[in-house]
Amino acid sequence: MSYALSTTIRQPFAATVQATRDAPADQAFGVLTEIDLAAALKAKIDEHIAPQVMLGPCPTSPPTPATD
């Protein structure tokens, strides 16, 4: 059994990452964290993988009493 979603994007990797960074702004989210997996694996274990980036979006609106 596999739990995965995938899609094929027909534009350069950098443009896709930038579009993904920009998209949450339409819903009042911003990217708080970003991890370059390829660079991290290369630095830690000298392993080469295809470019992969993990983005961590978070709401940009002020916290509500429930989230204080």
pLDDT at residue 23, as a whole number: 86
What is the distance between the alpha carbons of residues 35 and 37, in angstroms, rounded to a whole number? 6
Give pLDDT tens digits for 35-66: 999 999 999 999 999 999 999 888 887 766 66
pTM, whole model, 2 decimals?
Answer: 0.67
Helix (H, G, I), strand (E, B) or coil at 40: helix
In a domain, 50, yes or no: yes
Q: Which domain holds residue 52?
A: 29-60
In a domain, 8, yes or no: no
Average pLDDT (21-35) is 86
Give pLDDT tens digits for 7-22: 888 999 999 999 988 8
Tally of domains in the chain: 1
pLDDT, mean over the chain = 87
The 3-state secondary structure of 15-30 reads: HHHHHHHHHHHHHCEE
In a domain, 18, yes or no: no
In a domain, 13, yes or no: no
In a domain, 33, yes or no: yes
